[in-house]
Amino acid sequence: MEHRFYNRDLSWLSFNQRVMEEAGNNKVPLLERIRFLSIFSSNLDEFYRVRMPVLHALKKIGEKDDTPINADEQAGILKQAIAMVNAQQNRFGQILKEQLIPLLKAAKVNLLYNDPFPAEVAGAATEYFFAEVLAFLQPVEINDTKSFFPGNNCLYFVVHLLDGVGKEKLVLLNIPSDELPRFFTVKSDGKTYIAFLDDIIRYNLDKVFKNEQIQGCYSIKITRDAELDLQDEYPGDLSVEIEKQLKKRDFGLATRFLHQAGIPLRILQSVIQQFDLQNSNITEGGQYHNLKDFYSLPVNIPGTLFDSWPAISPAEIEAAPDLLSLIVKKDLLISTPYQSYHPVLRFFNEAAINPDVQEIYVTLYRVASNSRIVNALISAAKNGKTVKVMVELKARFDEANNLKWAKKMKDAGVRIIYSITSLKVHAKVALVKTKKDNRMVYTGLLATGNFNESTAKFYTDHILFTANPNLLREMELLFIFLSKREKPSLEKQVKFNHLLVAQFNLQSKFIELIDLEIEFAKQGLPASITLKMNNLEEQVLISKLYEASQAGVSISLIVRSVCCLIPGIKGMSENIIVRRIVDRYLEHGRVFIFNNNGNTEVFLGSADWMNRNIYHRIEVCFPVYDQDIKASLLKIIALQLSDNVQAVMLDKNIQNIPVHADIPPIQAQQEIYRLLLNKA
577 forms beta bridges with 556
Distances (CA, A) of 141 to 161, 170, 251, 435: 10, 6, 20, 68
Report the 10 Å Cβ neighbour count for 249: 18
536 forms beta bridges with 563, 609
Distances (CA, A) of 175 to 145, 181, 368, 551: 23, 11, 29, 59
- Inter-residue contact 84 to 10 (CB < 8 Å): yes
- Inter-residue contact 184 to 200 (CB < 8 Å): yes
Distances (CA, A) of 88 to 41, 102, 269: 10, 20, 26
Length of the chain: 680
Tell me which of 259, 426, 462, 588 is the catalytic residue: 426
Distances (CA, A) of 489 to 493, 507, 590, 610: 6, 15, 26, 20
Distance CA 620, CA 448 (A): 9
**Reduced DSSP (H G I as helix, E B as strand, rest coil) percent helix, strand, coil of the chain, to 5:** 40, 25, 35
Give the helix ranges, DSSP H, for 118-210: 119-128, 197-203, 205-208
The CA-based dihedral angle spanning residues 545, 548, 550, 555, taken in that order and rounded to the nearest 10 degrees? -70
Strand pairing report for 213-224 and 155-162: antiparallel
Catalytic site includes residue 426: yes
- Inter-residue contact 39 to 17 (CB < 8 Å): no
**Cα torsion 266, 271, 274, 276: sign:** negative
Alpha-carbon Rg for the chain, nearest whole angstrom, is 27
Side chain identity at residue 175, one-letter code: I
Give the helix ranges, DSSP H, for 320-398: 323-329, 342-353, 372-382
- Inter-residue contact 202 to 176 (CB < 8 Å): no
Catalytic residues: 426
